[in-house]
Structure 1
Amino acid sequence: MAPVSPRRIRRTALALSAVVVSALALSACAGSSADTPSTGSSDAAAGFGDLTVQLSWIKNEEFAGEYFADQNGYFTDGGFDSVNLVAGPSTGIPELLSGTADVSISNAVAVGAAVANEGAPVKIIGTTLQKNPFTVLSLKDGGDIATPEDLVGKKIGVQDSNLSLFNAFLAANDIDASALEIVPVQYDPAPLVNGEVDGFVAYLTNEAITVEQSGVATTNLPFADNGLPFVAETFTVTDEVLESRRDELKAFLVAEIKGWQDALADPDEGARLAIEEYGADLDLDPEKTLAGMLATNALIETPETDANGLFTISDDLQTQTVASLAGAGITLEASDLFDLSLLAEVYEENPDLR
């Protein structure tokens, strides 16, 4: 089996201090379009110019909604000359603070750590994934870890960057870390397949698919369904951009909603856009890309999004996210992390988007 790329280096960057400090220093001297405030609806008529979006990862199926929004002209319809999708990996926080990106696609852990630890002036304005994709992956004929209680007495492979999050997962399920053995691993699930560990911290949209497609039956224990829910693939901006460019951000969100509606409706085309166009230089595996597309879509649509619209984050989910972050040592109020006023205005002004 080919090694799996270390995609969670940027996903769960709980130790963001050095990065954020550098970015804060850069933000004091760097200029960008974020320094030019929007003056309201007249700007929409004149056009918003270019917008830069920092993606959290490479241009694979994870960003199919962005590809549809670009491909189908929703960004152009919204008044943008272009929307530049910059490939990661990145938490997106340094780019926001230095002014090299206007919007980042990040996650609540990275954003929360930057806000709590460094006072980074950023807010989450919506989220693609209602459920985070973390899981404890195991082999059905091996550890077969189907419940939190099944972790007891097992060897669990945990990457350094995910250790705080895994400990929060244990705490959320009243399991003492001494009741199991935590084994340091990298991001290739080979130790799981080879029987060196009973379980492996993984992504439902990545390693879980890789191992399953190798012909090995697996069991997943998703964090989101077992005591540690938090939002991921969040749209994040600086407070200054949120304050001064509201019409522009609303136009961006409208285009994104339309793009992700298309992605949910046509996962095959979403996979094709990743393989043949936006990620054409990545040599993406077609079978895994489509499986990743379907797994991603399953984390986006919930009864709440069906009722309230894509990207919305209910009060309850905000509270759950903040509680999950607290378990990882990140202490915040929901208002420190979220500002969903733009999204509320988008749906009020465009009820057909629900």
Structure 2
Amino acid sequence: MNRRHVLSMMAAGAALPLTGGLARAASPLTFQASWINDAEFAGYFTAIDKGYYTAEGLDLTYLSGGPDVIPESALIAGKADITVTTPDTTVTAITQQQAPFKIIGAQYQKNPIGIVSLAKNPITKPQDLVGKTLAVPPVNVVSVEAMLKISGVDRASVNIVPYAYDPTPLIKGEIDASLDFTTNVPYTIKLAGAEATSFLLYDFGFTIFNDTLVVTTDTLKAKRKEIVAFLKASRMGWEENLKDPAVYPPTFAETWFKGTGREIDNEVYFNTAQKPLIEAVGGIFSMSEEAIAANIEALAAVGIVATRDMFDTTVLEEI
């Protein structure tokens, strides 16, 4: 999902220790994030700082994202080996542009995107949107339309207007609700002196992953060992980070989070809120057959034809 401001590139990695008198060079791998450096990527930052990628033989380059970054384009252009995307955009690229992509993991088992409203004028279910004004980023309109259709709400009964990731119109009462990350925006609204309530699109039928890990088929073939190492180290980073969501964000204040203009308390809130959306019985990044089927069904509701072969679960099996 492409949102707000851009930060500069950061990189990490080092050669492995001497073995038998010879230095074994680390394998280069580039990861493209979809957004600025915030808690959405805290697990990767933890893995970098803890040396997990280095221990797995990787020289990882981390590229932060922003509103002008299209993650899938970074793969096609050869600027990155692996990225995070949303299933709807990736599947659309596969079906409409014949993009050679494979979805190999899912950071968010439950998509954190949802409808945010003020507690004093609460919208707690899709039916509450009838006759209301909902601000939605253009890239996410299809997702909202899917939820409305699945919930039996007439699209014409909801006034959908463009949203620029600024909760000010909601706080001022100019709109009734907005679509945004439920893991983050309620905190911003609280800072402005208001209380927010929210619900996930996921909980009302639009059952798709988010921050799906995507590679090209060529990269998966040529760098499978490195991709497996990346997933292993990243899973370790997320597991460590989520043990206590309040621990690591403060340690990134002068490094990964520097210059974002966001409070560390905001990142702790975000990190805490995303924990239940990331953790899974099968392990972080896992994609169960039931979850994949739910993704395919939800995407079909808006005419996006996903098939099982677009999801490759074999890579995670090698961790």
> SS state of the match for residue 221, structure 1?
strand
2:245, 2:272 within 8 Å by CA — same for their partners in 1? yes
Instruction: Give distance in 2, aligned partners of 1:236 and 1:117.
Output: 17
The secondary structure found in structure 1 opposite 2:254 is: helix
Contact 2:116-2:180 within 8 A present in 1 as well = yes
The gaps in structure 2 that reach 5 residues or longer are: 7-22
Residue 86 (1) aligns with residue 82 (2): no
Deviations 1:80-131 (A, max 9, x none): 1x21110112331111111111111222122112112211001111111111
Indicate yes or no: 2:138 matched with 1:160: yes
What does residue 333 of structure 1 align with? 307
Match of 1:218 in 2: 196
Quote the Cα distance in structure 1 between the aligned partners of 2:112 and 2:169.
20
Structure-1 residue corresponding to 2:160: 182
Contact 1:48 1:248 survives alignment (8 Å): no
Q: For 2:26 and 2:112, how far apart are their aligned partners in 1?
A: 34
Query: Displacement, 1:9?
Result: 10
Which AA in structure 1 matches 2:83?
Answer: S
- Coordinate RMSD, CA, aligned: 2.0
Displacement, 1:274? 3.3
Partner SS, residue 341 of structure 1: coil
5+ residue gaps in structure 1?
1-5, 11-44, 347-354
Amino acid at match of 1:154: K
* TM-score normalised by the chain length of structure 1: 0.80
Structure 1 partner of 2:292? 318
Task: Return the match for 1:199 from 137, 162, 177.
Answer: 177
Match of 1:130 among 100, 109, 112: 109
Q: Taking structure 1 as reference, are residues 218 and 281 closer, same or farther at Cα in structure 2, changes over 3 Å only?
A: closer
Task: Report the AA paired with residue 317 of structure 1.
Answer: A
Aligned length in residues: 300
The code of the aligned residue for 1:68 comes to T
Task: Measure how far apart 1:153 and its partner are.
Answer: 2.2
Choose the corresponding residue for 1:228, options 203, 206, 210: 206
| 1:280 matches 2:258 | yes
What secondary structure, in the 3-state scheme, does the structure 1 residue paired with 2:315 have? helix
* TM-score normalised by structure 2 residue count: 0.88
Matched, 1:151 2:151: no
- Counterpart among 3, 7, 11 of residue 3 in structure 2: 7
Question: SS where residue 180 of structure 2 aligns?
Answer: strand
Write the deviation string for residues 239-267 of structure 1: whole angstroms up to 9, x where unpaired. Answer: 01112222221111111111011111132
Q: Which amino acid aligns with 1:7?
A: R
- Structure 1 Cα separation of the partners of residues 38 and 297 of structure 2: 31
The one-letter code of the counterpart of 2:317 is A
**Deviations 1:272-315, CA, capped at 9 Å, x for gaps:** 243221122323311211111112223112xxx2x311110111
- Sort the Cα spacing of 1:155 and 1:83 in 2 relative to 1 into closer, same or farther, 3 A: same
Task: Specify the code of the residue in structure 2 equivalent to 1:267.
Answer: P
Contact 1:253 / 1:343 at 8 angstroms: preserved in 2?
yes
Q: Which has the higher helix share?
A: 1
The one-letter code of the counterpart of 1:324 is A
Deviations 1:202-260 (A, max 9, x none): 21123232113323122212101111111111211110111222222111111111101
Residue among 213, 226, 230 paired with 1:248: 226
Contact preservation (8 Å) 1:8, 1:161:
no
